[in-house]
Amino acid sequence: MGAFLAILMRDLRSDLRNRAQFVMIPVFYILAVILFPLGIGPETGTLSLIAPGILVVSSLFASLLALEKLFSSDISDGSFESIILCPVPISVIMAGKITAHWILTGLPLALITPFLAIMLGLSFEIALFSSLIILLITIILSLIGAMIASLVINTGKGSVLLALLSFPLFIPVLIFAAGAIDLAIIGGIGNSIAPILFLCSLTSIALPVVPIICAAIIKWQVR
């Protein structure tokens, strides 16, 4: 637990002091969502119809934007070489890094979502529900993304490869997340239990497994 908190606090401190990077992701999310009404037109009926897709796809792009930086600085400054020789399981380090990454990039998106959802014409109740869904999918995107990011760090073509490899894995998350909000709009929040259960089960599988996979990949990358 000590090592988990140490890496979590180090990454939070370090990234919070690098304000440009920290602010970039939520600003990108807001701009991406705002662009849709500008392109489609201000009719609330049309916007609320496609709002679930707009919110989910925009959060997916915003999450992707931050993923490249997740492990690259630790590789370039040699931190991983030293960490591997520490008496700490690497999977714990990975869990700490992914958690810090989610707090800095995923959590802000979930907190902004209710305002953007209301702007797109959704009711207050659905806006809060959308926020919960974005909260859940950003966890999954951070976990799946971390796995891909650890694979591509030494390729020199990180961002392009990351996007190419991540999108196919993000598709089920996108479908079920947008579906959950759609079903809630049509028949109330109780109507979207099935997609929520799918997203929860995906999270509960990825949470313990991904840090172990990332640890194995990073060890292989350092060697």
Positions touching other proteins (CB under 8 A) are 2-3, 6-7, 9-10, 13-15, 17-18, 73, 76-79, 81-88, 222-223
**What is the rounded CA–CA span in Å between residue 114 and residue 48?**
13
Q: How far is the CB of 164 from other proteins (least distance, A)?
A: 24
Q: How far is the CB of 5 from other proteins (least distance, A)?
A: 8
Q: How far is the CB of 155 from other proteins (least distance, A)?
A: 14
Nearer to other proteins, 2 or 190 (CB): 2
Q: How many residues does the chain have?
A: 223
Nearer to other proteins, 81 or 125 (CB): 81
Using an 8 Å Cβ cutoff, are 148 and 68 in contact?
no
Nearer to other proteins, 169 or 222 (CB): 222
List of residues 6+ apart from 151 with CB closer than 8 A: 165, 217
Q: How far is the CB of 80 from other proteins (least distance, A)?
A: 9
Nearer to other proteins, 1 or 186 (CB): 1
Nearer to other proteins, 14 or 155 (CB): 14
One-letter amino acid for residue 189 of the chain: I
Q: How far is the CB of 93 from other proteins (least distance, A)?
A: 8
Q: How far is the CB of 101 from other proteins (least distance, A)?
A: 15
**What is the rounded CA–CA span in Å between residue 108 and residue 65?**
14
**What is the rounded CA–CA span in Å between residue 9 and residue 96?**
9
DSSP class of residue 123 equals: -
CA distances from 112 to 31, 106, 109 (A): 12, 10, 5
**What is the rounded CA–CA span in Å between residue 139 and residue 144?**
9
**What is the rounded CA–CA span in Å between residue 77 and residue 66?**
18
Nearer to other proteins, 87 or 168 (CB): 87
Tokens, residue 43: 């009719």
